[in-house]
Amino acid sequence: MSETHVSSSSSPATSHASSAAAPHAAGRELTGGAPGTFRVAALQMVSTPDRERNLAEAGRLIAEAAADGAQLVLLPEYFCFMGFKDTDKLAVREAYRDGPIQRFLADAARRHKLWVIGGTLPVTAPEPSRVLNTTLVFDPHGNEAARYDKIHLFNFEKGEESFDEARTICPGDEVRTFEAPFGRVGLSVCYDLRFPELYRRMGDCTLMVVPSAFTYTTGRAHWEMLLRARAVENQCYVLAAAQGGKHENGRRTWGHSMLVDPWGEIVAVRDEGAGVVAGTLERARIDEVRQSLPAWRHRVLS
């Protein structure tokens, strides 16, 4: 297992969510330590059916990342709860903008004065038998900056493995990005990673994030290549926070949380187990890649 440190990007600081956005100008300064840089971290977990234990572990990892200088942290999908069966998530669902999980995320952002992208949590849906699998973003003041509801729902059967998220999750229907001090951030979740058209719809991003809980089977086969492909296609950084290990419900997740740069190089990765994968985004790296291979400007089809 390895943990290294990465870098890149830019754009003026705002805290509103958008479902589409215009390209930002190349060469703007990131708001970070050194000019043109911004420190980010993916937090890998092995979540349990105990919500309070998961929140305590997430808090520990956020504090560790903050102590290392992170200005943005990304939690994994289902960071707050991995039940014994799919329907267990109904018991911990929260009304939008109300509940202990959402308060935890806002408080963590405010306490550590950093951006928190809260993996996913189960949010009340129109159908009582299902939830929305929701990513919430909080700025360093603890204010909500964006919301994204997972669009693509995982369905997989192989041998004894069987998953059908649509049984307990309602799909979202809007592409979401938000503007941070270092540029535009595109939001996606896990299975979304297999649909490149979603990422194109995000526009010109500095960073795309992928909180996930890939299975061991699908992760071993496709996880790394998909993350690197999305980074290469969009010539931006991709930060992925994963569940990684053997869970109390018997499920094994792939892990390998990582940061990938705009050339598709893996800058930081952790194979299994809870921990922090940190790196530094560098505006110069994005500019270098886009100038040497201007594929972004060569797009013909919309």
- For the chain, what are the domain ranges? 17-292
Amino acid at 211: P
Dihedral (CA of 243, 246, 250, 251) sign: positive
Q: What would the mean pLDDT of 137-161 be, rounded to a whole number?
A: 94
Strand 177-180 to strand 183-187: parallel, antiparallel, or no bridges (unpaired)?
A: antiparallel
What are the structure tokens assigned to 94, written together?
């929260």
Angle at 197 between CA 195 and CA 199, to 5 degrees: 90
User: Is 31 a residue whose pLDDT tops 80?
Assistant: no
Active site residue 190: yes
pLDDT at site 158: 85
Q: In the CATH hierarchy, which top-level class contains the domain 17-292?
A: alpha beta
Token pair belonging to 193: 């990673």
Confidence check: pLDDT of 65 > 50 = yes
Catalytic member of 57, 77, 94, 272:
77
**Lowest-confidence pick of 11-25, 87-101, 141-155, 249-263:** 11-25
Asked if the model's pLDDT at residue 173 lies above 90, the reply is yes
Share of the chain above pLDDT 70, in %: 89
Q: Are strands 72-74 and 37-44 parallel, antiparallel or unpaired?
A: parallel
**C-alpha neighbours within 13 Å on the C-beta side of residue 78:** 26
- Dihedral sign for Cα 59, 61, 62, 67, please: positive
Q: Which of 57, 80, 150, 179 is catalytic?
A: 150
What's the rounded Cα separation, in Å, for the pair 102 and 188?
19
**Do residues 165 and 189 touch, judged by C-beta distance below 8 A?**
no
For residue 149, which amino acid is it?
Answer: D
- Computed over every residue of the chain, the mean pLDDT equals 91
Distance (Å, whole) CA 210 – CA 193: 7
Nearest to 26 by CA among 246, 182, 145, 164: 182
Q: 33 pLDDT exceeds 90?
A: no
Is pLDDT at 23 greater than 60 in this prediction?
no
DSSP three-state, residue 221: helix
**52 sits in which H/E element:** helix 51-67
Contact yes or no for 194/161 (Cβ under 8 A): no
pLDDT number for residue 22: 40
pLDDT of 267-290, one tens digit each?
999 999 999 999 999 999 999 999
**Model pTM score:** 0.90
- The structure tokens listed for 219 are 């992760």
* 80 part of the active site: no
**Higher per-residue confidence, 25 vs 132:** 132
For the question of residue 150 being annotated catalytic, the response is yes
Strands (E), 243-282: 244-246, 252-254, 257-260, 266-270, 275-282
Contact 79, 253 (CB under 8 A): no
